[in-house]
Chain A
Amino acid sequence: MIGDPFAWVYEQLTALLLSLGMTAVWAQTTLRFLGAAVLATVLLVSTFFLIWGERKLLARLQDRLGPNRVGPWGMFQTVADFVKLIGKEIIVPTHADKAVYLLAPLLVVLSVIGIWAVVPLAPGVVGTDLEVGVLYIVGIGAVGTLGIMMAGWSSHNKYALIGAFRSVAQLVSYEVPMVLVLLVPVILASSMSLVGIVEAQAGMWFIVMAPVAALVYLITSIAENGRAPFDLLEGESEIVAGFNVEYSALAFGMFFVAEFLHSLTIGAVVATLFLGGWRGPGAEAYPLLGFIYFLLKTLAVWLVIVWIRGTLPRVRIDQMLGFNWKFLTPIALGILMLTALVDKLAAAAGWNRTLVLVLANGVALVVILGFVQGYARRQRRRDQAHPVSVEAAPAALL
């Protein structure tokens, strides 16, 4: 019981439900729904501390104190904000499409929480071991895009609509390299199930075998999250608040929660796909230890995401699209083919798989960095020859 509280709780609850006169199948189904509800609630409540932690970290990065009034170290600042949001009125604009307008924030939150259904939290503890878990992550992300579009359209506001177009352009574009690099851990594990991918990392974490893919995945998921440096979904000077400009109170809070929870979710997915998930010394014997490892890895990736947000300036819309289509997509395609080829070659020739893949990734990194350096040099030379003129192109707003 000490090492494996998950199985213990499950057995106790099953016994309780059976003693209430349920059949075994119904007890199992009830527990499934209960588990989903508990997981979703814990995640939503954890957002209180996520937002507080992110604000504190950002403040430290920017040489400020951050929230420090409510509770110890300002810990309950988010709770106070939440109470304020509850007290406000959810305003529906006059010509808005009410049902769609109110449904949109729920879909956005659903798309984030849904990912956790397939993430293995500890050995043997997973919502459902879906055979196609990686594809499911992509699919559930599409629901979020749909929600953003519904929010922008139903608000009956031009800024919201333009913001929604912009978001969809960003989200759909960055999905392309994201899906491509997601195939790299699938190739290495020869499994699409997240449990299978964690199991395949018993010998070596995939971040060692596929560092380029891990980096591209991190960048694209930050863009999918729409946070700095890719926070173009919001732009006070261009499109006001973007697709959620009309939302108030808890309806707005839902978008807010989804954004902050998404960064933790990215951490969990990166930890699972590239950092070995719950793997660590003694994790198999004591699942609780595995859960702690998983949490630490997730928080480490989350910290990097916050750090990036606090450090990098935001990109322009043309830079955002150019970076995706002219830089990340070719890299993702190249690294996918390289990994598949090198992995097969190594298996056929009997070489050390890790060593060969590290070498291949190193070569790829050198080539990419050389290309970036050359591009920057050419760009600088061009800028010196023709000083940049700011063109007011209305199309750039989209």
Chain B
Amino acid sequence: MEPLKLIFLVTGAVTLLSALMVVTARKLVHAALWLVLTLAAVSVLFVLLNAPFLAVVQVVIYIGAIAILIIFAVMLTRRSMEDTGPQTSRRWWLAGLIAVVLFAAIVLLVVSHPAVSAALPGAVPPDSVQQLGLGLVSVNAYVLPFELASVLLLAALIGASFVARPPEAAAEGGEE
């Protein structure tokens, strides 16, 4: 067996198992930590697919920002952390059936897509990050969605600082 295949199999198993633990863990913080492991394993899959940029961005955004945000929120609400009730509802078999059918449908759709059976494109170009960057600023490609996303984020930033502002500071007119 090739080492890459072995690494892929191990990573796949870790991804699936930790994803399962996310939904079955009783403590919310544990679920969040299992989610971190799932996302880390997905980033390893990106590395195996020769997409280092996506892999690192996966770590920076999902582990560095989103997972830490989730854990922070969970940590601040200490009381409602442990789930003691039953973990399945009475209709769990129905939900399972629907999930299996949906999964089978997705697999069928993916397999029947022409891109799956098409030959692999050759080696990944060495300057794929540069091409990605050019795509984001080129008028013919994605400059409009990119700029719209930036404006949206800026609006969120302004909104957050407005919400976080204490009322007395607003009355004083922004004393340092």
Q: Check A131/B128 contact, CB under 8 A, given A25-B3, A139-B56, A142-B59.
A: yes
Interface secondary structure of B, over-half rule: helix
Report yes or no: A146 in contact with B129, Cβ–Cβ below 8 A: no
Residues facing A in B126-158 (CB within 8 A) are: 126, 128-130
**A326 CB to nearest chain B CB (Å):** 8
B75 at the interface (CB under 8 A from A): yes
Report yes or no: B30 in contact with A131, Cβ–Cβ below 8 A: no
The proximity string for B residues 53-82 relative to A, scoring 1 for CB distances below 8 Å and 0 otherwise, is 100110110011101100110010000000
A-B contact count (CB 8 A): 71
CB-CB under 8 A from B68, the residues of chain A are: 142, 145-146, 149, 168, 172
Classify chain B's interface size.
20 to 34
Beta-carbon nearest neighbor of A28 in chain B: B3
**B88 CB to nearest chain A CB (Å):** 24
Partner of A132, one of B29, B52, B63, B72: B52
Q: Check A149/B75 contact, CB under 8 A, given A138-B64, A172-B68.
A: yes
Classify chain A's interface size.
20 to 34
Q: Check A131/B71 contact, CB under 8 A, given A142-B60, A145-B64.
A: no
CB-CB under 8 A from A274, the residues of chain B are: none
Given the complex of chains A and B, what is the CA–CA distance between A136 and B29 in angstroms? 26
B83 at the interface (CB under 8 A from A): no
B41 at the interface (CB under 8 A from A): no
CB-CB under 8 A from A73, the residues of chain B are: none
CB-CB under 8 A from A132, the residues of chain B are: 52-53, 56, 129
Report yes or no: A138 in contact with B60, Cβ–Cβ below 8 A: yes
What are 21 contact pairs spanning A and B, CB under 8 A?
A25-B3, A29-B3, A100-B33, A132-B52, A132-B56, A135-B53, A136-B52, A139-B59, A139-B60, A142-B64, A142-B68, A143-B63, A145-B64, A145-B68, A146-B63, A149-B75, A153-B75, A164-B75, A168-B72, A190-B130, A326-B176
Q: 20 additional contacts, CB 8 Å, given A139-B64, A146-B67?
A: A25-B3, A26-B3, A97-B30, A131-B52, A131-B53, A132-B53, A135-B56, A136-B59, A139-B56, A139-B57, A140-B59, A143-B59, A145-B64, A145-B68, A146-B63, A149-B75, A150-B71, A153-B75, A192-B129, A326-B176
